[in-house]
Structure formats: C-alpha cells, structure tokens
Structure 1
Amino acid sequence: MNDQQNLKAIGPILKYSLITGVALLLGLRLFFWFSGNMVADEAYYWMWSQHPAISYYDHPPLNAWMLWLASKLFGWNVLALRVGPILTFLADIWILWAISKQISDQPKHHFALTLTLFLATPIFLTMTMLALPDHLMVMLLLLALLCFVKFFKAVEQGERPWTWLYVACICVGLATLAKYNAVLLGAGAFLYALTYKQARAIFKHWQSYAGFGLFLLVVGPEIYWNINTNASSITFILRDRHAGLPTENNFSGLIGYLGGMIGFLSPFLLWPLAKSLWPNSKKIPQLGLAQCIFLVSTLLFLALSLTTDIMFHWNLVAYIAILPFLAHFIRWSWLLFAHIVYGVLLAAIIAYNFGALPIRTYFSTADYFSARSFGWEETAEWVEALDTQFEPGFIAGTHYTISAPLGFALQDPNVTDLGSARSQFRYWFDPSEHLGENALIISHSGNGLGTALDARFEQVELLDTIEIYRHGYLVEKRHAYLATGFRN
C-alpha cells in the first residue's frame, strides 16, 4: 500500500480533520486580513509605493510597484494594502493544483494534502498573509517551479519545450525583483541540470542560455539601481543589516537557524521532509529538482548561520520547492493531524496577537513590533490636532515602525523617519530643504529623543502623550515632541 493509499485508508477521521483544519485556517486568515490592523513592515512598504522608484534601499522594488498600483485602483486603505496577498494566495492554490497534476497519479488527493500543508505550515501562513515582498516571491517561485517541472519532465521524454524554460526564468527574475533570495531557486534548477544526465543535455543548446538572458533582463532594474547607488542594496544585505552581530563562532546563530526551521515548518513535518530528501526515495517526477533547490538554499544559510544570525524566513525558497512533494511522504494520519493542530494554534496566536491584542500584554508590556499594529487611527487624529495647533514644518517618527504606520494612517507620504537606524526614508527626506523648520516628532519613549536627535534641533519639548488600550490593557504609549529649529 503506497503512502497516499495508506492515508486514504483512515477514512472519515482524516477527511473531517482536513475539512475542519482548512476551515479554521481560512477563517483565521480572513480575520487577520480584515481586522483593520497592519504590521509595521506592511505600512513601510506602502510608504515606499508612494515614492515610486526603480528600486529601494532595503529590498527590490516589485512589492512597492504592486502596492502603488493597488493604491491607484483601490485608494489609501487597509483593503488596498491587503488585496495583493489575497490575490496571490488564490493564485498559489491554483498553481499547487497544477503541480499536483504533474507529479502525482492521484492529483485530487495529493492536492488536498498539499493545500492543507500549505495552509497549516506556519512559514507559509505568515509569509503569504502579509503585504510583504514574500507573498509575491512565493507565488512567482511556485509558478517557476511548475514551469521547471513541466520542462524537465518533457526533457526526460526526449522533448525540449523551451517556452516552459523561458517562462520559468522570467518568473525567477520577477521573484528576485520581489526578494533577493529568490535567485536560489534558479541556482537549484541550474544544479539539477548539471547533475542529471538527461537534463545536462540542455546546455548544448543556445536556448538554455537565452533563458538565463531573460532572467538578467528582468532583474535589470535592480542591477541598474545598485550600479548607480554604489551597491546600496547589496551592501545593506551583506553588511549593514548585520551591524553589531557576531561574525565568527556564532553557534547561537546556528541554533537559532535550526530552531526557526523546526518552529516555522513545524516539528511534525521533519520526518516527511527527511524522507523526501533521502537519496533512495521512491521515483517521483522532478523530486530531484526540488531536492537540489532545497539543498542549495538550506546549506547556504546553514553556512551563514555560523557567522551571523539568520531570520526564520530567509530559507523560504527551500520550503517552497519541497512543499508540493511532501504529500508523497506523509504516511501516518496522526502526524498530519498533529501538523494541522499545530498550524491552527500558531495561526490563532498570530491572528489574535496582531488583530486583537498583543499576547504579551497579559504578562508584561507588549513587544514593540506587535504594539505597532494597534491604535494608529486614534494616533492619527491626535497628531492631526497637534499639527493644526503648532503648524510644524514636517512630521517625523523616531523609527520606521512608527513613521510608516503613522504616515499610512495620516495618508501623508511626506511623514519621515529621523531615527538613527538607516532606512528608505533617508532617500526621500532632504535635510537641506528643512533647515530652520520645526518638527512634530512621535516617539515610543517618554524620556526624550536621545542625544543624537536632540542635537539636530535648537530645542525639544514634550507636548503630549497618548495611551493605546485594547480590551482594558495598555498596548503602548506614544509621545509627541515639538522640536524647533532643525539644523541638519
């Protein structure tokens, strides 16, 4: 009895577990999307979109371009912010179905399991629910994977449908315009073509190099940006982002990387994952392709974790590649059930934490990242009243997680960030144009703005404080300062 038949044999228990789990996961996703709250990074990318550019300091431009289009079609609101993730999520489902038809002789059953894994796996839950670059990268890389599977499957049968290769390379290029690590899927596909005899034959044909040329053409804007800004984005990724982090013997980074993999994939996927990577795995169409992509990405970040701290989602490319194949290796119904329960619990925690109340407020003060998802409409009304009263030259925050959601709530693309941490705001705000002006500055600290920021003004005065409450719990205090006589 094969793996899928083994799962089918459990009958109604698995069926109703799948239906209930999918319903709960979809419901929690909808609650988060329409709760009205936004994560600070979502607002940050929205502010990017209101300053159209060929690329940006932190990341490539595709997400900002899409948000700009959404703002023109749907206005300046949370629905416009989230319409992208909603549409790409629907596209993800269709692409997973198309992949199932390519790699399984029981596509309906395989797709049902794969969709459940997609919905219940925490890293896909978080990265496809938010208006971050990752939701675009996930969709585009799934589409690239589909095209690579179709292409290499045909190559094994003696055919060479180059159109599928061209589309795959274009999709990898577009995904790289969303996030740099997307290029690793292309690197994994290249490794697969090198290491498998039948696939290696494509390098005898000019069309394979034309595919790479299409990739370079698509990422041209990002190449141009870095050439004209002294490789600012690459410098940020390789150096600035890690300022102050360890550079050698970083065993805590390795532990964090492996822990993040376990936590955000879920402990219950580790065995199917290990089976899918085992050299003697059963013959599944293009499993070797997924293995190569997974290993290229995972081993690269494993090596980097020994020198710096790796964020849990940086290895997302590896998980995208292997996801459609995991359904072949889930042998036990209890393992799938446990994974669904784990996913539902994580989804409920995330939805509640960012949509209702930061969970840490029950025990202490909310963490700043969660707190920044709440109270911006009332904060905007408070700031507008102070702006009318004091008529400052400009409005600023002391960190992008304040400046961006405040700018979004005020519907003002000119709100800036005067914090010490470098951000995209520095590319829009020219200090020389504001010399001598007064500023209304919003901070989470009631103990002043700090020596460095104080020094940029002649005088700084605390004006007022607003307290953000939810369900009777204090989420965050925000402080307004009037800073007069901007110097630099």
Structure 2
Amino acid sequence: MTIMRMVYAAALDLRTDEAYYWTWSKELQLCFLDHPPMISWFVRLGTALFGDTNLGVRFAGIVAMAATQVLLADIVRRVTHNVQAVILAVLLPEAALYYGLLMAKVAPDVAAIPFAVAMMWALVRLAESNDGRWWLAAGMFGGLALLSKFTVVMLLPAVAAFLLVPSWRGRLLFSPYPWLGAVIALIVFSPVLIWNVQHDWASFRFQFVRATAPHDFSLRTLGDYIGLQFGQVGFVLLPVTLTALTLTAWRSYRAREPVGTLLSTAVLVPFLYFLWKSLTLRIGDTWPMFMWPIGFAAVAINIVKLREDGAPAWFIRSTLRWARIAVVSGIAMVVLIFLYYVAAPWNFLGRTDPIGAEAGYEQVAERLEQELKTTGATWIATSDYRTYAMMRWFFRGRVPVIQINERARFIGFRDPGMNLIADHAGLYVVRDPDNTAPLLAGTTARREPLGSVERSWRGRVMDSYTFGKLTGWTPELSPPAESPLYQWRWLAGDPDATPYA
C-alpha cells in the first residue's frame, strides 16, 4: 500500500492547493494567512530530497502515514498486549480512502495527523507508566500539531477529560508537569503567535471570520458533511468506528478509565461539533481528518475490551466480523480508486470529479507560453490563488507570476521579480465566470483581449479561461489593508466566495 501511494504521488499532477503549499515552501515564513507553517516545511523537506517534482512535494505525506501507523500500533499494543488488535490498528487506516491513498497529497492535515496521534501516544504512555514527565512530550507534540493546523485545538476537551475524569485528577492538577507541558506547547507554537503579533492577528482573524460568518440553515451542507465522512473514511468503517467510540466512551466514563476517555473524547467531540456546524456551514473536505486515526485505535482496543468485560459471544463475533468487512471492503475500494486515477482512461464523474476538476492546467500554461512569445509580455497576472499557484508551479520562476488581489495571502513573500513587471506588459488570465469582476476598474491598467483556452481532463472540458494583455499599470504588492486588492474574498464581501480548505 505504501508503494501504491508513492506511485500515486509521482504519477498524478499536483492539485491547486498542493501547488499553493509548494509556493509557501519557497518563502519560509513563520506563518501564513490560511494556515500555520508546518506543511510548507514538510514540502521543503520532500523537495530537498527529490526536487520540485510531484513525488518531492508529496513525499512527506507518505512518511506521515507510516509514522501514524507505527504510533497507532504502539498505542494499541500498550493498551491490549494483543497482536491481532495491533494488526487491525495498522490495517484500518489503509481501508479508509483519505489515509490509504490521499495521505499521498499535500494538505495541512497531512502534517497535523502524525503529531496529533503522537500527542495521544504520549498520554497513553503517561497512563501506562504513571510518569508525569510524559506531559512534556505531549506538550511538544501538541504544539507541533497546532503548528500544522488550528483545528487540532479541538483535541483540548479530550486532554481535559483525561486530566479531570480519572481518580488521579487531584494529584495531577497539583503536579507541575501538565502545566509545563502547556508551556512547551505554547513555546513550540510561538512562531505563529509572533507572526500574528507582527501582522495584526491576520491568520486568527481569517479563521475566526470563516467560522463565525452567518449562514442560513441548510440540509445540503449537513448531507455534504455526512457524505464526505462516509466517502473518505468508509461506508462500513465509519459506522464501525462510531460504534466503537460510543461503546468506549460509555465504558470509560463510567469506570473513569483514562485511555478510553481520552480516545473517545478526542473523536466524538470534534465529530459532533462539525456535525452541528454543518447545519449552516460547508465543512471542508479535510477539516475532520486529524481525528479519525485516533478512532481507529479505539476500534481495535474495543474488541479486546469487550472480551475482557465478558460481553456476549455473539456480540463480540459480530463486532469482529464487521471490522474485518471494513478492512477488506475498504482496501478493495482504495485499490480500485487508485487504479481508476492512475491506469484508467475514463471520466465517470464528469466535471464533478475531484481530481479531474483540478487537472489540465498544463494546457493553460502552454497557451500562456505562446502568448508570452507573441506579445512580448514579461509577467503573468491572475485574480485566483489556484491559477496563481498552478502557473508558478509550471513556470518554476522563469516568468514572474502574481495574484493581483487578495494580497493578504502573500504577506512577507519575496519580490516575484518587479524588475520584469514594472513598466512592462503582462498577461492577465482569469476563469470565464470571474472575467467580469471589476478588479481592474479602479486602476490605470489597459486590457487587450487575446482569446481563451479550455482546460480538459480525459476528454471532458473542466473549465475555460480568458486571456488579455495588460499595459499601463504596475500591480502593488503591498496595498493598504482597506484596499479591495488586499482583502481576501470573504472580508471583501464577495457573496460567492467559498471557504478555502
């Protein structure tokens, strides 16, 4: 399965967000508007080993998957001392599409997952050894998880339950180690705090507005959230995991057992929170993905605990049977989807295909290359971060590429090559639905239409783009905060803007 993920990583073109994070890896900022910096460091590591290639950008995700499985195996081994349970814990993530295949792609969650599981592992070691110094390791891993993605803050209720529910709560509360662990977490997380202090808390405000923006009640977004969990975790594995977590929570809270309390709370609280938010907000595809591996550990542990608790034999057999079905059917589905994207020539989903919807940007880049030679333009402009990232990926620094709006995304970025932009003609490329946006209306830019190009995948047109030649204007890299060219789309009041994952 690891070899399969490596083939997938090397064979498929980067998606737009992956190229976006690759651009981050060239900047080495302490933080970015959208996310903390860890994913950019992951990409930097992979490209240092394999160059600016598909595999290089994605390599750290493959390592993260292996590290996650090792940690899950050791958690289950220490709790159950059962080899079959350990094997099940290793196989369960392979049976979930997101982990079995899509960990071989770049997203902040890929960085957050191993660190979040490592924090759980450190706390399990604490429960096993009764050595308070494991709080220090938990703090370090928790800080690294926060340095990867802000949503892992939702693991804090689990840590609080682990501290307060068992009978040791009085002793631990007066121990220095939990508080030292919290200090270590803040120190590790400090690059994000420093960057935000320097930039008016930009990334925190970005996330806060996304989370609190008013939306109408919608059963569609609820259905999207539930459907995504079934699709990315598994149609059998998701109910198996939720059932195991419910049984674990019921058993552990009644007995005040620390590990079961920790694992069940770490998944059920974020799951229910996202379920509630999905009534009014579209939950991003990857937002809940940091929590499910912890649930897989609970599945393996629950089977052993049922035997120890003397559960009815038929119930234990049924639980084990469904876990096996989840593994076999899930891995089969992961392999089939791998073959569909790597080896098959068909497009069954049309424009809704999640991979095909972001494929074919090389066709746009080829047309831009031709227009650069024909018009004598020396730089490329766009108004969409996805197009910006893909053009930077394909041109690899040979031509300056700039997104003229949402400049808050690029705080602290290096000079893209203003000596080739100022007083030179540029090419402006924009998706057709956005072609009428009045971004250039308040500038001195003159725009000469040059035509259009279609982006297609497996014989199906996925999108079309319009080209124009820009003259008489030099874009401002650092416009004032009140400028519509500085603000990101939600803050600018764009009613059609969608939450960026």
TM interval, shorter chain, is 0.7 to 0.9
Correspondence for 2:57: 81
Aligned partner of 1:148 among 109, 123, 131: 123
1:400 aligns with 2:388: no
1:202 corresponds to: 172
Equivalents in 2 of 1:350, 1:83: separation in Å? Answer: 17
Structure 1 pair 457–78 and aligned structure 2 pair: CA distance change class (3 A):
farther
Hey, what's the Cα distance between the residues in 2 that align with 1:190 and 1:241?
Answer: 23
The aligned amino acid for 1:68 is R
Cα–Cα, structure 1 residues 258 and 472, in superposed 2: closer, same or farther, change >3 Å? Answer: closer
Partner residue of 2:41? 65
Distance 2:59 2:103 in 1: 12
How far off its partner does 1:149 sit?
Answer: 0.4
Write the distance in 2 (CA, Å) between the matches of 1:222 and 1:29.
31
Give the match for residue 371 of structure 1: 357
* Aligned equivalent of 2:449, options 445, 462, 466: 462
Q: Secondary structure at the match of 1:424?
A: helix
Distance (Å, rounded) in 1 between the aligned partners of 2:387 and 2:345: 17
Q: What are the superposed Cα offsets for residues 348-372 of structure 1, whole Å, 9 maximum, x if unpaired? A: 437635x56897x556545687332
Change (3 A) 1:186 1:411: same
The amino acid that maps onto 1:441 is Y
Q: CA deviation at 1:72?
A: 3.8
- 1:66-465 to structure 2, matched below 5 A, reads 66-106=42-82, 108-125=83-100, 128-155=103-130, 160-162=131-133, 164-240=134-210, 246=215, 249-269=217-237, 270-278=239-247, 279-281=249-251, 286-329=259-302, 331-333=319-321, 336-338=324-326, 340-345=328-333, 348-349=336-337, 352-353=340-341, 355=342, 361-362=347-348, 364-365=350-351, 370-376=356-362, 379-412=364-397, 414-418=400-404, 424-425=409-410, 428=413, 437-445=424-432, 448=435, 450-453=437-440, 455-456=442-443, 458-465=445-452
- Relative contact order: is structure 1 or structure 2 higher (C-alpha 8 Å, sep ≥ 6)? 1
Q: How many residues align?
A: 452
C-alpha change, 1:403 and 1:262, in structure 2 (3 Å) is same
Deviation at 1:73, TM superposition (A): 4.1
- Shifted more, 465-474 versus 79-88: the winner is 465-474
Q: Aligned-pair distance for 1:386?
A: 2.6
2:452 counterpart of 1:483: no
| C-alpha displacement of 1:211 | 0.9
Q: Displacement, 1:199?
A: 4.6
Find the aligned partners of 2:33 and 2:345 in 1 and give their Cα distance.
30
Gaps of 5+ in 1: 1-24
CA-CA distance at 1:202 after TM superposition: 1.3
TM-score, scaled relative to structure 2 = 0.79
Partner of 1:17: none
Where does residue 10 of structure 1 map in the other structure? none
Structure 2: segments with no counterpart, 5+ residues:
304-318, 476-501
Report the counterpart of residue 482 of structure 2 in structure 1: none
1 CA distance for matches of 2:348 and 2:285?
26
Deviation at 1:333, TM superposition (A): 2.5
Displacement after TM superposition at 1:197 (Å): 1.3
Q: What residue identity is the alignment partner of 1:236?
A: F
Contact 2:25 2:44 in 1 (8 A): yes
Q: Could you tell me whether the CA contact under 8 Å between 2:158 and 2:261 is conserved in 1?
A: no
Q: Is the 8 A contact 2:127 2:259 kept in 1?
A: yes
1:45, distance to aligned residue in structure 2 (A): 0.4
Q: Return the alpha-carbon distance in structure 1 between the equivalents of residues 361 and 122 of structure 2.
A: 44
- Could you tell me how far apart the structure 2 residues matched to 1:255 and 1:149 are? 35
Secondary structure (helix, strand or coil) at the match of 1:267 reads: coil
Q: Is the 8 A contact 2:45 2:60 kept in 1?
A: no
The amino acid across from 1:257 in the alignment is: Y
- Give the superposed CA RMSD: 3.3
How big is each residue's C-alpha offset from its partner over 1:165-187, in whole Å with a ceiling of 9 and x where there is no partner?
21111011011111011222244
Structure 1 residues 227-236 or 422-431, which shifts more?
422-431
